[in-house]
Homo-oligomer: A and B are copies of this chain.
Amino acid sequence: MTSQVSFGSQPTVRPVGEPRWLDAEEQKAWRAWLFSTLLLQDRLDRELTHETGISHAYYEILVALSETPGRMMRMSELADRCLSSRSRLSHAVSRLEERGWVRRQVCAEDGRGQLAVLTDEGFAALEAAAPVHVEGVRTHLFDQLNPQQVENLRDIGETLLRHLDQPSA
């Protein structure tokens, strides 16, 4: 028996031994992922904001509401869906309210909690922005990848989601 800790077999325990540093190949993969995702997010956000006045984060809020029955969602669920803190979402919804695109109302079902409701004007703004958004996603993501790479992108994304998209993970 050696005293060396095998981190690989203890994924839930904070390591106490030598850090598991990345080797040169892993460094390259990590850097390529990090910089490409930051650049892609930045590009999509800047172009969408420039052409429609809607940031990518606000766009995703409108999309989330548009996909629900009645185009409404509890603020707490909307924050989870948009990976936002409650305070950050509340601030964003206030900005969208000022534009007349979202309104808040008390949840009729149980009288507790607040609903965010997409207005007709908000839905129209989303419809107007959608062609710009999809063109950005096409130009900067799908046009750059071949069919095998698109399949790999989805495979990696879904694999990571199985780990990341659960409260206890």
Contact = CB atoms under 8 A, between A and B. Distances in A.
A105 interface: no
Interface stretch (A68-76, A94-102, A110-118, A151-159): A151-159
Contacts of A130: 19
Instruction: Say how many copies of this protein the assembly contains.
Output: 2
A134 to B, nearest CB: 5
Nearest to A33: B157
Interface residues of A, number: 57
A164 interface: yes
Interface of A: 7-8, 11, 14-15, 19-22, 25-26, 28-33, 35-43, 83, 130-131, 134-135, 137-145, 149-165
7 contacts: A25-B154, A28-B154, A32-B158, A144-B160, A144-B162, A152-B156, A156-B156
